[in-house]
Chains A and B, each alone.
Chain A
Amino acid sequence: MADDAHGDAVSVPSKVPADFSVRRYRVDLTSRKVSRETVACEDFEDVFGGIARGFKLLESCPVADAYDPSATLIMNLGLLSGTDFMTGLRTYFLAYSPLKRSLSGLPSPMWSAGSGKFGTKVRGLNIDEIIFTGRCDTPSLLHIRRDSEDGPPVFDFVDASDLIGRHVNDRIQDLHGRYPDAFFAVIGPAGENYQHVRFAAIALSTVNQLRSGDGKSRWCGRGGMGGVMGSKNLIGIIADSPDRASTTKAPPILKELNLEVARGKGSARFRDKGKNNGGGGTWSNYSALNPVHAMPEMNFVPTGTDASVPLYRDNVEQGPYVVKDESCFRCGISCHKNVYDKQEDGKAGRFRAKLDFEPLNLLSSNLGIFDIDQALDLVELVDELGMDSISCGTTLAYVMEYNRRHPEAPIADGMSYGDYKKTLETIDKIGNGQLEQVGQGTLRLAEQLGEMGYAMQCKGVEFPAYLPQTNPGYPWALAGGHMSMRTYLLLLHERETGLDYWVDAITNRGLSILRDDFMGICKFSGMSDERMVEAVGALTGLAIDVATLKQLIRRTFLRGYRLERRHGCTDDDYVMPAEVHQEYPQIELPYFNTPEFFSELKQRVTARIDELLVAEGLS
């Protein structure tokens, strides 16, 4: 980040925030004016960047409409983004969301992060942060490059009319042909049709994608950040800088830290089985959760049957498919589980889709679709249209459940559980802006239909693929329940059902997941706070201890929560859909999230957060 932060390797960290500064660019898309400011850091939030600094910025630019041209879209990096720390690849987009909102109707603060090599290129251009406002008058690309090797970044606007309507990978491959040294952040058709799709995503290109030609983007998926970009008529951002060999010597500890990321216990679950006893990636959740019927099926109501068994990875690999673990730039975890058709010689043929647990589950089992070939088609199409697979899948499940309950007056052409063909057609319509009723997301659709009890969302953000029945922490997640509140598998592992436990889980332990949203690294790295303090010190010279890091995590959460409150959230927004609180005997986990339990929990969580706000001087 800051001017001297990523220069020489440092042996004894001694820098304080005031020793750092942020290279920030403000881009007014209406006038196409770009201004640079170098901002001295006031605190650790400023130094770390990502959501820690982003929330501070969002405080100063509230909007009533996420798509208003004056709305702010922040693109920034975390402290270790673009460094040699393994998985240090994250790019963050922050804005007031077109999807997440309070009951008052005001858009709520949101962010989404993605890997790939785009962030590394942004770092290579010496940019820490870009603040976009305004709206391009025509569909445009922002090409950021340098005139000379050490010169400042130059911002050019390029007409993007020829990309309109095309699928995401097609756009990226086209841009790769034109800008061979660059990496890209692009929206797809959904982002262009932002008025009719509230869960459009931003794709970040990967090395593997550009080499293979396959659609292997990483995604800033949640909260409709692609729609905000689309509302600004900004179709893509091109970070164009040649790779340069590092001129500084890496700190000796870096090798050890990277080895731990690649081969250590923290990332083991996400590695392949053959890689130092890896757990096989998030896809393993199928064989881990389904036997105890703790996995979403049919709009988050497990069937209690073996219906999802064909979708286990081991079973898929026995069919005509090859699954390869592949990776982002220089990452040893290789969490991508890419599925290919198997050729006659047994080798990988045509690329089909990248399967993580979330897209797979929410676009198959949770829709009553248990055929892997169909699931691959659905996952690929959602990606290619540039949508968040979680929000899209969960909204489709709501539609199917509504139609099951209302066979006399179904919506969306009567789409029903298990109906692959209509699901495919519906996804295509949503992504192309032809089905706003569904493209507006679960909350607004449920409000329109008057049936909120099984609308699986909180504050407008659809639930990820972990049962809400087992996780009363969802309402306090700032940016979706599996990325911003680490309470989603606690019941499975710890089986605790007491109020004290859950208050602490939500207001203390659950917040730890936010650390990597300003650190600039992948959550899958699984590194301890102790090790990250070492990494930060070695790579940037910043002196920080674990207690201060934990405080920064807490303060970041509190700022996000305070922003939600300032943007209209009241106690009534921190609720769960009513049917979540029922007992489902087929779920082989303790039943505890009753209406009474949740009501008392909410009072105590709210009181605890209020105390923390006062203690941190943020009330």
Chain B
Amino acid sequence: MSVNVELPSALARYAGGTKFLVASGDNVRMLFEKLWEDYPQLRIRLLDKRDQLYPYFVLIKNNVRLSPQELCDIPLDDGDTLEVMTLAGGG
């Protein structure tokens, strides 16, 4: 199963220079584990010490925003899109 992942532009440099990745996993947790294998630099930039997504990111699956509580076990299907969006921004 392959899922299309979109990272914030700032993190592309830690994912081989692209913000668009294809990764696999039956749920968000598994997909992230796979991502860390391929791009270990991403992990410390997305997850805190308790393995929670930092509060300045939100996950959007197929254009629907996920709440932080449901992140890990959300199932993923072939062709899904998962976007990591950053909330903190200037102005």
Contacts and interface: CB of A to CB of B under 8 A. Distances in A.
Q: Do A and B make up one complex?
A: yes
B30 interface: no
B90 interface: yes
Interface string B50-91: 000011101010010100000000000000000001111111
A492 B55 CA distance: 11
Nearest to B65: A277
Contacts of B91: 270, 282, 335, 356-358, 482, 523-524
Contact of A482 (B13, B45, B48, B90): B90
Contacts of B22: none
A284 B13 CA distance: 25
Given A277-B85, A288-B55, A493 B8 contact: yes
A285 interface: yes
A482 B88 CA distance: 13
B60 A289 contact: no
A185 B45 CA distance: 43
B88 A492 contact: yes
Contact of B89 (A277, A282, A292, A490): A282
Given A277-B63, A289-B56, A282 B11 contact: no
Interface of A: 265, 268-270, 273, 277, 279-280, 282, 284-285, 287-289, 291-292, 335, 356-358, 464, 466, 482, 486, 488-490, 492-495, 523-524, 588
Contacts of A490: 10
Given A270-B91, A284-B89, A494-B11, 11 more contacts: A265-B85, A269-B88, A277-B85, A285-B87, A291-B55, A357-B91, A486-B90, A489-B89, A493-B45, A493-B86, A588-B48
B87 A287 contact: yes
B52 to A, nearest CB: 10
Nearest to B89: A269
B63 A285 contact: no
A553 to B, nearest CB: 17
A270 B56 CA distance: 14
Contact of B56 (A282, A288, A494): A288
A247 B54 CA distance: 50
A587 B48 CA distance: 13
Nearest to A295: B88
A292 B63 contact: no
A279 B85 CA distance: 8
Contacts of B88: 269, 284-285, 288-289, 489, 492-493
A493 B14 CA distance: 11
B1 interface: no
A413 to B, nearest CB: 33
A492 B56 contact: yes
Nearest to B8: A493
A389 B91 CA distance: 13
Contacts of A356: 91
Nearest to A493: B10
Contacts of A482: 90-91
B55 A269 contact: no
21 contacts: A268-B85, A269-B85, A269-B89, A279-B89, A280-B87, A282-B90, A284-B87, A285-B87, A287-B55, A288-B56, A292-B54, A335-B91, A486-B90, A490-B10, A493-B86, A494-B14, A494-B45, A495-B44, A495-B45, A524-B91, A588-B48
Nearest to B58: A279
Q: Select the residue from B58, B63, B89 with max chain A CB neighbours within 10 A.
A: B89
Contacts of A282: 89-91
Nearest to B64: A277
A524 B89 CA distance: 9
Contacts of B45: 493-495
Contacts of B89: 269-270, 279, 282, 284-285, 489
A358 B90 CA distance: 9
A277 B91 CA distance: 19
Contacts of A588: 48
A315 to B, nearest CB: 14
B90 A466 contact: yes
Give 4 closest A-B pairs by Cβ, nearest first: A288-B56, A288-B88, A269-B89, A291-B55
Interface in B7-46: 8, 10-11, 13-14, 44-45
A463 to B, nearest CB: 13
Nearest to B46: A493
A560 to B, nearest CB: 19
Contacts of B56: 288-289, 292, 492
Given A493-B8, A493-B10, A493-B45, A277 B87 contact: no
Contacts of B87: 269, 279-280, 284-285, 287-288
Contacts of A292: 48, 54-56
Q: Select the residue from B10, B85, B88 with max chain A CB neighbours within 10 A.
A: B88
A257 B75 CA distance: 35
Contacts of B13: 494
A288 B53 CA distance: 11
A284 B65 CA distance: 15
A351 to B, nearest CB: 21
A244 B65 CA distance: 41
